[in-house]
Amino acid sequence: MNAPKPPPHQAYDAAFPPLEKYETMLGEAEAIHGISLWQDAWRRLRRDWVSMTSLGFLLLLGLLAIITPLLPLQSFKEQDLKRRQFLPPTLSSQIEEPIPVEAEGDVPETETRRVSLAITQFPTDSDEFRRRYGEIWENPNLLDQAMIRARLTIFGDWCLPSLCGTDHLGRDMLSRLFWGARVSLIVGVVATLVSLLIGVSYGAISGYAGGWVDDAMMRAVDVMYSVPFIFVVLFLISILSDDTVKTRLADYGIDRMVILYLVIGAIYWLTMARVVRGQIISLKNEQFVDAARTIGARGGRIVFLHLVPNVLSVVIVYLTLTIPAVMLFEAFLSFLGLGVEPPNVSWGQLANDGLKVITPIRIYWWLVVFPAIALAATLYSLNFLGDGLRDALDPRMKNR
Amino acid sequence: MIEFLVKRFFWLLLTLWIVYTFSFFLMWKVAPEGANLSERKFPPEIQANLDRYYGLDKPLIERYFLQFGKALTLDFGPSMKLMDLHSSQLIRQGLPISISLGALALSFAMLLGFSTGIVSALWRQSLLDVGFRLLATLGIAVPNFVLAGFAIILFVFILKWFPAAGWGRPIDLVLPALCLAAPFAAYIARLTRTGMLEVLGQDYIRTAYAKGLMPRVVVLRHAFRGAILPVVSYLGPATAGILTGSLVLERIFFIPGLGTHFIEAITQKDHPVSLAVVMIYTLLLFTMNTLVDLSYGLIDPRVKLNK
């Protein structure tokens, strides 16, 4: 009966499973990979071919917009009223140019010449070079300059034919579409980011503060919902583009584009603020917030470092649905002549230019159809991607 | 109900006051001369007369109280650009046109949206459904002025169904209203389809079928009513959108509505007129939002207006 007592260390050995078991357990634990919300969503999004096609298209579009200076496009602003007005889409990069031959009768001889910017034949510091260089691009920044140089070394004088025709001033539609893509996309993205910044901060602060602060802030949003902002915006932009005001603003580095970003951003944040507030209210009594508070985190830190990252999925879905709305709004402003200013172009402005020359006599279809296709395809993709993301990030769909 | 309306009326007054004050100071601070700043230089006496006529000789604050008092009696002052025309005359001219255009567009949007939405939901995944959904996405993605351009090319120039831009006969309103309605019809169709699909799977619909009601009655009386709540809440933003869209379409189709006057007024800094139009639109939008909130209670008896 009296079994000899095991030495103390052996008692521990008996009480605990052997070391190998821990090792296998550790191995098992390592083999299991947790799936985060984002991985799960990405897995689901990948299976949805509509969303993936949209995503691919948007990425391609963004890439093309960035490397536009590298592409052998014609000048987007060089006008040619004599020879190239309303040319229909063509595959040939040759144009007929009448060259005045020494008078042999009155009929001018014509001779075929290549469309070319003919820039490489001038020394880089000559005025002629600067003039033609300036026609390729408007205010190029350093990266653009590098790309234009690379383009000139790769393609030399050669440039693409007017695949999409030319407009009423003889400018090449294709290069205007590319240039417009840069402007339209950047307005859409930056203005949405501005609205995001305002909406998320406003909603998060309001939801986290609660009490009368929340009440007051949300009442203010309610009031603003009933304000026809479009009119205030039109009004604001028309006033701010007054010449005297414009020069004053230009001193602060504010031009039409910056005004557009701020003004459009300032009216699209209302829904964002409401959505974020709702989410924050449902999250702010969770334990991780209490934990953060016990170790002494302040309100601002809790809101922006702990709570806001948790509502990101909602924010991203809303973002993809706001960008098309903003791009439409920019098109609308451009239509009214209050959008981006020449020589900048945007798709909305191109479509508007096309609409202006619709007459019963001749229909220059390429001036309406190509901008419309560009705009519609982008907005389509953004809408589809937004819907797909919403489904993919829906927690009810988890692990399905 | 009464309490709700009284509260809403109070908020309406507050909103109108805020919009008025904000716009007033914005416009007069940034462009103090208004439309009086013209290329022609008047002799000082005439200039002084003009200033007195428009009240420009007084300091801004004093003018604010004076004109606010007048605005309370719906008098926004004479137009600064169109001589001898009072802003209320312009509104009396333009408002009925804009309202009929907007109302027609809203009815088109609801008619088209509801019918295609119901058809889509009933024959789910059929060719008709897929076609309608593609059209609906197109309607959402294409700006309405581009749509108007295509519509003009197709219906006016090629098919010659509608007259080109003009004003006077009822037929002139149809094409603009259709173009204006398109995006909203598309959105309503989408919302109706989702709502119907959700409702059609529920027990009370099966019960209705089981007790032998006609399919038409089940769909239109039982299911439809449950399905349109999201659509009703969309009508508030839709009204705002239609007001915005009518600015563009009035311009394309040369309709002398309020939107046309507004665009002209703001580009020419005709402050009294633009202020008056902004106030009218605020009033319209607020009324529509209130009506939408009221109709929740009518459609869904579970909704209580005073939380």
Q: For residue range B248-262, list pLDDT tens digits in order.
A: 888 888 888 888 888
pLDDT of residue A103: 45
| CA gap A105, B32 in Å, rounded | 64
Question: How far is CA A271 from each of CA A268, A333, B30, B236, rounded to the nearest angstrom?
Answer: 7, 21, 30, 13
DSSP string, B251-282: HHTT--SHHHHHHHHHHTT-HHHHHHHHHHHH
C-alpha closest to that of A171 among A73, A94, A308 = A73
Interchain pair B289, A226: CB under 8 A = yes
Average pLDDT over residues B266-282: 83
- At B78 the three-state DSSP class reads strand
pLDDT of residue A158: 66
A115-140 burial, b at 16+ Cβ within 10 Å, e below that, comes to bebebeeeeeeeeeeeebbebbbeeb
| Residues contacting residue B145 through CB under 8 Å, at least 6 positions apart | A331, A332, A335, A351, A352, A355, B248, B249, B252
pLDDT of residue A159: 67
Q: Which residue of chain B has the CA closest to A380?
A: B141
Interchain pair A368, B153: CB under 8 A = yes
Task: Tell me the average pLDDT of chain B.
Answer: 81
Interchain pair B157, A226: CB under 8 A = no
| CA gap A109, A99 in Å, rounded | 6
- Kindly report whether the peptide bond that precedes residue B143 is cis, defined as omega within 30 degrees of 0: no
pLDDT of residue A202: 92
Best residue in A50, A51, A221, A227 for a mutation probing chain B (most B CBs within 10 Å): A227
- Which two tokens mark B251? 């311009």
If one counts every other C-beta atom within 10 angstroms of the C-beta of residue A240, the result is: 19
DSSP string, A267-292: HS-HHHHHHHHHHHHHHTTSHHHHHH
Nearest-CA distance B130 → chain A (Å):
14
**Residue A91: CA atoms inside 13 Å, Cβ hemisphere, count?**
0
Average pLDDT over residues B85-104: 86
| CA gap A88, B227 in Å, rounded | 49
- Nearest by CB to residue A238, choosing from B267, B278, B281, is B267
Interchain pair A379, B262: CB under 8 A = no
| CA gap A28, B10 in Å, rounded | 65
Look at phi and psi of residue A94 and say left if phi exceeds 0, alpha if psi is from -120 to 50, else beta: beta
C-alpha closest to that of B256 among B67, B77, B44, B96 = B96
Q: Which residues of B touch A357 (CB under 8 A)?
A: none
DSSP string, A137-195: -SS--HHHHHHHHHHHHHHTT-----TT-B-TTS-BHHHHHHHHHHHHHHHHHHHHHHH
Say if residues B236 and B284 touch (Cβ distance below 8 Å).
no
- Which two tokens mark B110? 């609801």
pLDDT of residue A398: 57
Least confident range of A69-78, A307-316, B29-38, B83-92 = B29-38
DSSP code at position B86: B
pLDDT by 10-residue block (mean), chain A, 400 residues: 60 69 82 75 82 90 85 69 66 53 47 50 62 64 75 69 71 82 88 91 89 87 77 75 72 76 84 86 85 87 85 82 85 80 80 77 77 86 83 65
- Confidence category of residue B71, pLDDT binned at 50, 70, 90: confident
If one counts every other C-beta atom within 10 angstroms of the C-beta of residue A158, the result is: 12
Helix, strand, coil % in chain B, rounded to nearest 5: 75, 0, 20
pLDDT of residue B108: 92
- Which two tokens mark A63? 């890439």
Per-residue pLDDT of B111-167, as tens digits, reads: 999 999 888 888 877 888 888 888 887 787 788 888 888 888 788 877 777 776 667
Question: Which A residues in the span 328-347 are in contact with B, Cβ-Cβ below 8 Å?
Answer: 328, 331-332, 335-337
Please identify which residue in the block is written with the tokens 């391609």. A60
Interface size A-B, in CB pairs within 8 Å, comes to 128
| CA gap A254, B142 in Å, rounded | 31
Burial class (CB in 10 A: 0-12, 13-18, 19+), B269: buried
**Residue A123: CA atoms inside 13 Å, Cβ hemisphere, count?**
3
Q: Which residue of chain B has the CA closest to A330?
A: B143
pLDDT of residue A104: 46
Which range, B11-20, B30-39, B166-175, is most confident? B11-20
Residue B140 at interface with chain A, using a CB cutoff of 8 Å: yes
C-alpha closest to that of A14 among A6, A4, A22 = A6
In terms of residues, how long is chain B? 307
Q: Which residues of A touch B243 (CB under 8 A)?
A: 228, 230
Interchain pair A372, B146: CB under 8 A = yes
With the C-alpha atoms ordered A339, A343, A347, A349, is the resulting torsion angle positive or negative?
positive
Nearest-CA distance A208 → chain B (Å):
22
- Which two tokens mark A340? 């981006």
Q: Which residue of chain B has the CA closest to A384?
A: B137
Percent of residues, chain B, with pLDDT higher than 90: 5
- Nearest by CB to residue A231, choosing from B142, B164, B262, is B262
| Residues contacting residue B25 through CB under 8 Å, at least 6 positions apart | B60, B64
Interchain pair B149, A324: CB under 8 A = no
ipTM exceeding the 0.95 mark: no
Nearest-CA distance A351 → chain B (Å):
7
Question: Which A residues in the span 124-143 are in contact with B, Cβ-Cβ below 8 Å?
Answer: none
Residue B49 at interface with chain A, using a CB cutoff of 8 Å: no
Say if residues B96 and B258 touch (Cβ distance below 8 Å).
no
Please identify which residue in the block is written with the tokens 């028309």. A238
DSSP string, B157-223: IIS--S-SS--SSTHHHHHHHHHHHHHHHHHHHHHHHHHHHHHHTSHHHHHHHHTT--HHHIIIIII
Residues facing residue A95 across a β-bridge: A113
pTM of the model: 0.77
Q: Which residues of B touch A351 (CB under 8 A)?
A: 143, 145-146, 149
Residue B249 at interface with chain A, using a CB cutoff of 8 Å: no
Q: Which residue has the higher pLDDT, B171 or A4?
A: B171
Residue B21 at interface with chain A, using a CB cutoff of 8 Å: no
| CA gap B218, B210 in Å, rounded | 10
Q: Which residues of B touch A375 (CB under 8 A)?
A: 141-143, 146
Residues facing residue A111 across a β-bridge: A97
Q: What angle do CA A241, A245, A250 make, to 5 degrees?
A: 90
Say if residues A322 and A268 touch (Cβ distance below 8 Å).
yes
Question: How far is CA B282 from each of CA B101, B233, B278, B288, B294, rounded to the nearest angstrom?
Answer: 18, 18, 6, 10, 18
Q: Give the helix ranges, DSSP H, for A48-93.
A: 49-66
DSSP code at position B102: H
Residue B285 at interface with chain A, using a CB cutoff of 8 Å: yes
Residue B122 at interface with chain A, using a CB cutoff of 8 Å: no
Per-residue pLDDT of A366-387, as tens digits, reads: 788 888 888 888 888 888 888 7
H/E segment holding residue A112: strand A110-114
- Confidence category of residue B36, pLDDT binned at 50, 70, 90: low
DSSP string, B279-293: HHHHHHHHHHHHHHH
With the C-alpha atoms ordered A296, A298, A303, A305, is the resulting torsion angle positive or negative?
negative
Say if residues A183 and A340 touch (Cβ distance below 8 Å).
yes
